[in-house]
A = this chain, B = another copy of it.
Amino acid sequence: MSQTTKNRQVLLIKRPEGLPTPGDFKFKDTEVQQPQEGQVVVKTLYLSVDPYMRGRMNDSKSYIPPYQLNEVIKGGAVGEIVESKSDKYKEGDKVIGMLGWQLFNTVDDSKVTKIDESIAPVSAYLSVLGLTGLTAYFGLLDIGQPKEGETVVVSGAAGSVGMFVGQIAKIKGARVVGIAGTDEKCDYLMKELNFDEAINYKTTDNIKQDLEKACPDGVDVYFDNVGGSISDAVMSLLNDHARIPLCGAISSYNSTDGDMGPRIHGQMIKTRSLLKGFVLSDYADRQSEGLQELGKWLSEGKLKYEETVVDGFDNVVEAFLQLFKGANLGKMLVKVSE
């Protein structure tokens, strides 16, 4: 730690409204904090900047707490130990952790994990062997569950998560269609990563038409990084029992009007909720189980039912129309005959 005692930090000084501006942040020159017993000083090598950080800049409940005003912004980072008061690390060790946007982080040794440069360069631990690679891996394979020959669409396809999603889907034998925002990115996806199709959503006249052409057999898995109108278009092509890992909604992170396509995305991600469309026929082979339970509860007096009965066949149309006015309590029936 002989090199320097000068530190430099980035603080969040204002909660952004809409798109963040440089004025929401402040650089602050300060001193490197001296390490206590069990602590290390980490010189920052790479900082990861990620869309999810925009969410933490709002003062709202989510899966991670919001950033505090006038404090150093935190995110994924790799660095080198330049001073150690820990048995676990020596100077020169390369480590990864959730660290501050500053030149030097002085932290407990439990806050960082050693990385092995012989497997991949240190920066890879912030991408393929880090949060983004793992996010693609679990989101796609655990929720999306692509099968050989199925069609996987990924939005934000040239982004840090999207490009792994597409590649892993190819490894699993799926047809892969990527959506990205420049021709260069689309070229990269098709030529370098062997995506089957890539659509530039910024230059297309009709993204739905392009998607239909790129997905002649519909969409089985939609790995969604963006939300908004792109997702609307993809969702119109879903096949039965499609799966949609909701990973991000970057199109709405800076939205102030709350209406950027599927509005529920943000809330679903925050809460890791599951939403599933269903129709009764999906359970055709379990019908007798259902009837048995319902009948039992009915006979035990645990279950009541109610009918709104409209009398006379000639009132069947009117009865149907009344449904949309909420005129029924319980099941709406038309009594035609005794």
Contact = CB atoms under 8 A, between A and B. Distances in A.
Interface of A: 8, 10, 19-22, 25, 27, 43-51, 53-54, 63, 79-80, 101, 103, 119-120, 123-124, 126-129, 131-135, 137-139, 142-143, 158-160, 163-164, 167-168, 171, 180-182, 184-185, 188, 192-193, 231-232, 235-236, 238-247, 250, 253-254, 259, 261-265, 267-283, 286-287, 290-291, 293-295, 297-298, 302-307, 309, 313-314, 316-321, 323-324, 326, 328-338
A271 B335 CA distance: 33
Contacts of A8: 313-314
Nearest to A130: B331
This chain's copy number in the assembly: 2
A101 to B, nearest CB: 5
Contact of A324 (B120, B126, B193, B250): B250
Q: Top 6 A-B pairs ranked by shortest CB distance?
A: A127-B331, A268-B277, A160-B331, A128-B305, A269-B277, A242-B273
B277 A273 contact: yes
13 contacts: A22-B318, A79-B337, A101-B316, A103-B336, A126-B331, A138-B280, A138-B286, A158-B329, A164-B294, A188-B329, A253-B324, A254-B324, A273-B277
Contacts of A48: 331-334
Contacts of A263: 232, 261-262
Contacts of A306: 127, 158, 163, 188
A80 B239 CA distance: 39
B232 A336 contact: no
Contacts of A51: 323-324
